[in-house]
Amino acid sequence: MKRAALLWILSVFTMVGCSTDYSIVGEVGKEYIFIEIPGDDPNEDIWVDSFVQPEGTEGVDILWVIDRSCSMRDNEPLLFDGIDAMMTSLPPTGWRLNMISNSPPNVLNEQQFPLVPGDTVTDAEAMYHNMSTGVYEKGFDALEEYLFFNSYANQWMRHDVPLLVVFVSDEEDQSNQTPTEFVQWYANLRKHVYLASIVHVDPYESLCNVSHYDVGQNSIDATNMLGGVVVDICSEDWAPGVTDASVQVKPYEEYELTHRPTDQDNIYVFIDGVPNYDWYYDRATNKVYFTVIPAGDQLVEIAYLYRSLVIDPGSTPTLPFN
């Protein structure tokens, strides 16, 4: 039998499976439960994949804070492709997406109706061209000004869904607050907030072919503090990075396993520590598909056996099972 601890923390939990194939054991005062899966093959190990379902199951508000200075004009095609990629990768319902300038004086009068499911990249382009231009590159300050002093922001934004902000600029953010100060404020806006930045990255990592540019270090630092996604503004395609940003708020309807199970009949799924059966496994894709999507904030754990690489002295290596 193989045994592994699940991550779910229980104060009181005792349950034994009806079959002898596995068991779950919890004890009063302990902070663990165990599963046991049959198998004595020394080349097999137990693995537990886990994730917390994002809160975006009921919707998400998205705000792109964009540098509208003249130097950004060459990036407009990449911008539209990136927004299109985000709209395509978001859930089919519940999201709202808007854009504002990163120039604080210009955001006070922005009153554009957000993009919603069913809108296209053509609608996004029209929204972009209706935005006011600005000369200040102060994304942190612009966001704060918009949320606090633009009355229309409170009309389209919801306070009970996650918020994703995407900063886009080819210049360093020059706000009157540090990344740490911004994150402390931003993180308290809602229960779940997310951040992404499309900026110039470190020259050693950048794909730019110019000798000098302003690294967007403030935006990078703030994004990293929240575990967000940073995209090199010199990338030929922003879509993959923007899609990664969307995944932060998109609920899991399926999950690709880290390894390929050796026995698909001995895969066990737990939601908040409770066995769950609303799923099926597809061997061709190596994914678990949920027939009932887990709710936001629920912890999902998937346990199974996989074949590990074991090398005995003097023997031929046993390769992982594929």
What's the pLDDT at 57?
Answer: 53
What's the pLDDT at 54?
Answer: 75
Q: What is the DSSP string of 238-261?
A: -HHHHHHHHHTTSPPSEEE-SS-B
Which CATH number goes with the domain that contains 191?
3.40.50.410
314 part of a folded domain = no
What's the pLDDT at 141?
Answer: 97
261 part of a folded domain = yes
**Which residues have CB under 8 Å from 320's CB, separation 6+?**
259, 260, 306, 307, 308, 309
Single residue among 195, 218, 247 that ends a domain in this structure = 247
What's the pLDDT at 206?
Answer: 73
**Are residues 113 and 86 part of one domain?**
yes
What's the pLDDT at 2?
Answer: 55
Domain of 30 in residue numbering reads as 2-52+253-307
**Are residues 283 and 134 part of one domain?**
no
Q: Name the E strands within the chain.
A: 2-6, 24-25, 33-37, 44-52, 60-66, 95-101, 163-168, 193-199, 229-232, 254-256, 268-271, 274-276, 279-282, 287-290, 299-307
What's the pLDDT at 175?
Answer: 96
**Are residues 191 and 100 part of one domain?**
yes
154 part of a folded domain = yes
**Are residues 114 and 201 part of one domain?**
yes
62 part of a folded domain = yes
What's the pLDDT at 27?
Answer: 36
Single residue among 224, 247, 270 that ends a domain in this structure = 247
**Are residues 262 and 237 part of one domain?**
no
**Are residues 73 and 121 part of one domain?**
yes
pLDDT 10s digit of each residue in the chain, 322 long?
555 555 543 333 333 333 333 333 333 333 455 666 666 677 788 889 988 887 655 688 999 999 998 888 888 988 999 899 888 888 788 899 999 999 999 998 899 999 999 999 999 999 999 988 888 999 999 999 999 999 999 999 998 888 999 999 989 999 999 999 999 999 999 888 989 999 988 877 777 766 567 889 999 999 999 988 899 988 887 887 787 777 777 778 889 999 999 888 889 999 988 999 999 999 999 999 999 988 878 889 999 989 876 445 454 444 444 4
Number of domains the chain contains? 2
**Are residues 151 and 233 part of one domain?**
yes
**Are residues 139 and 185 part of one domain?**
yes
319 part of a folded domain = no
179 part of a folded domain = yes
**Are residues 107 and 83 part of one domain?**
yes
**Are residues 67 and 11 part of one domain?**
no
59 burial (CB, 10 Å; 0-12 / 13-18 / 19+) is: middle
**Are residues 146 and 46 part of one domain?**
no
What's the pLDDT at 33?
Answer: 57
What's the pLDDT at 252?
Answer: 82
Single residue among 220, 247, 274 that ends a domain in this structure = 247
**Are residues 276 and 137 part of one domain?**
no
C-alpha pair distances (Å), 281 with each of 100, 220, 278: 43, 38, 11
221 part of a folded domain = yes
Longest dimension (CA), the chain: 75
321 part of a folded domain = no
